[in-house]
Amino acid sequence: MRQEPVDYIARTREQYSVLGYPVYSWVENPAAPPFARPERPPSEWKVGLVASGGIYALGQPAFHFKDDLSFRAIATDAVVADLRVTHFAYDLTDAREDPNVVLPLDTLRRLASAGEIGALGPNAYTFMGGIYSARKVREVLAPSIADHLENDEVDVALMVPV
């Protein structure tokens, strides 16, 4: 059964208006980032994982309300049943039932086991989207996560937005 694509811009505007927030302003980048062609095949990649769905592991602090610039490092060998999700801007029902919806650890583990990708990095990095300052994301959050990915020596990073 084919499903129609989701119009995320319209959906986000509707969700924000229902929550009583001002109209959501989308960030517009002045230029596209340069394309970097991988030098090796995916079967040799060490893959990092970054997700904005508000995922955290049992024992870690939950995320706060909007504009939380913190992030969590979650071991990629974590038990999925020990993952939790909190976020103010999307319906958490499916993510709480199966965190792989917003943090596809099991899928990436299967790809690594099958040799489709070389390996997973040691940690996934998660944060809660809904940060209203693009400047703070650009200057604080993104560089910090990028530093961790670099320390993990990943070749590529899969970015999973909500």
Under 8 Å between Cβ of 45 and 155: yes
Binned at pLDDT 50, 70 and 90, residue 79 comes out as: very high
Does 120 or 18 have the greater pLDDT score?
120
The reported pTM is 0.83
146 membership: H or E segment, kind and range: helix 142-151
Handedness of CA 114, 119, 122, 123 (dihedral sign): negative
For the cut 80, the answer to whether the pLDDT of residue 16 exceeds it is no
Residue type (1 letter), 19:
L
What are the boundaries of each domain within the chain? 42-160
Write down the pLDDT at residue 24: 66
Does 26 or 128 have the greater pLDDT score?
128
For the cut 80, the answer to whether the pLDDT of residue 25 exceeds it is no
Write down the pLDDT at residue 89: 80
12 membership: H or E segment, kind and range: helix 8-18
Under 8 Å between Cβ of 50 and 128: no
Does 6 or 78 have the greater pLDDT score?
78
Give the distance, in angstroms, between the CA of residue 124 and the centroid of all CA atoms in the same chain.
9
